[in-house]
Amino acid sequence: SNHPMIVVSEQDILEIDLNDLELSDVELGRGAFGTVYEATWVSKKLRVACKVFRVRKQGGSGLLQSFKRELNAYREVSGAYILKIYGYAVETISRLEDKCYLVMEYMAKGSLACMMEKEKISYFRKVKYALHVARGMHKLHQHNLIHRDIRPANILVDEHQVAKIGDMGITREVSANHQHTMVGYNPYMPPEFYLGRYSQKLDVYTFGLTLNEFFTEANAQLDITGSTVKLQNLSPILNDFILRCINYDPNQRPTSFICQKTLALYVKCFTETINKKHRDYDKSSTEKRNSIFKHYHERITARIREELNYAW
């Protein structure tokens, strides 16, 4: 394949000339604030995704602020598991309104939320995506940020099956005054959010709910009653892990570092156990893979148990 080799880092977030952007008619999705289109960044010969929305020039529209905040959050942090933002463009459309374009990495598979509706994802692939998200979350936390909105709609997957965290619109610094940054009711939020005092463990909770939804394919808020989650067909290790992430007490939740470590270990044990016997595992169908997993389930679980002592 011929991917253009350009490396864009957080320092490079730049204003892109509108003439250098060619928007297609292909709508990749709609969010609360705008529509995302497939587009071409002409001078780079690069396929990109472009989020388009209108903002009022003046008069206290929070949208422009939100746009700038999103850009700033991305400027601070970049990494393999965080969606890349290349730049932005602003177009004046009237005396009152501007049109903003957020130009980002094109994620061929769309969001996890979309994928879950469209296709059956094998158990192991889910575990891999979970690891990617944990790595992205850890990276944000290392930069002293709280994402605050980790959920399946905000995790995007590229053509190489890499999952990345996107939508940093409401990302905040740990030190920010959280009292004034409350957003509306969000079923993914942990109890402490409504008390206005929270830490990065908030992300661990929303991450846990996201995994619960992802693995059980059940709606996050419907399936959680107290601290018990119905996790059918799930490795007990993973079940236990998710329950720890969504513990009501933030102090009982693992850190993002531990999340990343645990899932990396899971992937390692899984790969080693299955690859010994099934060299064609990656090429098998989803059904075949899931049945192979079931067969080795106990062996994998035992290995992880053995090695996981450090984590809890």
Binding site residues, ligand ATP, CB under 6 A: 28-34, 36, 49, 51, 104-107, 110-111, 113-114, 153-154, 156, 166-167
Minimum CB–partner distance for residue 163 and ligand ATP (Å) = 12
**Residue 111 or residue 235: which is nearer to ligand ATP going by CB?**
111
**Residue 66 or residue 301: which is nearer to ligand ATP going by CB?**
66
Closest-CA residue to 205 (of 245, 146, 238, 165):
245
**What sign results for the dihedral spanned by CA atoms 72, 73, 76, 78?**
negative
Kindly tell me the number of DSSP H helices and DSSP E strands found in the chain.
Answer: 8, 13
Q: Return the structure tokens found at 146.
A: 């709280």
Minimum CB–partner distance for residue 171 and ligand ATP (Å) = 12
Minimum CB–partner distance for residue 107 and ligand ATP (Å) = 4
**Residue 87 or residue 110: which is nearer to ligand ATP going by CB?**
110
**Residues 116, 29: Cα–Cα separation, whole Å:** 15
Minimum CB–partner distance for residue 227 and ligand ATP (Å) = 27
**Residue 36 or residue 245: which is nearer to ligand ATP going by CB?**
36
Closest-CA residue to 169 (of 25, 275, 36):
36
Minimum CB–partner distance for residue 167 and ligand ATP (Å) = 5
The answer for residues whose C-beta is within 8 angstroms of residue 284's C-beta and 6 or more apart is 278, 292
Collapsing DSSP states into helix, strand and coil, what is residue 173? Answer: strand
**Residue 186 or residue 284: which is nearer to ligand ATP going by CB?**
186
Minimum CB–partner distance for residue 53 and ligand ATP (Å) = 8
Collapsing DSSP states into helix, strand and coil, what is residue 237? Answer: helix
Sheet with 46-56: strands ordered across: 14-15, 85-92, 97-105, 46-56, 35-41, 21-30
**Residue 90 or residue 153: which is nearer to ligand ATP going by CB?**
153
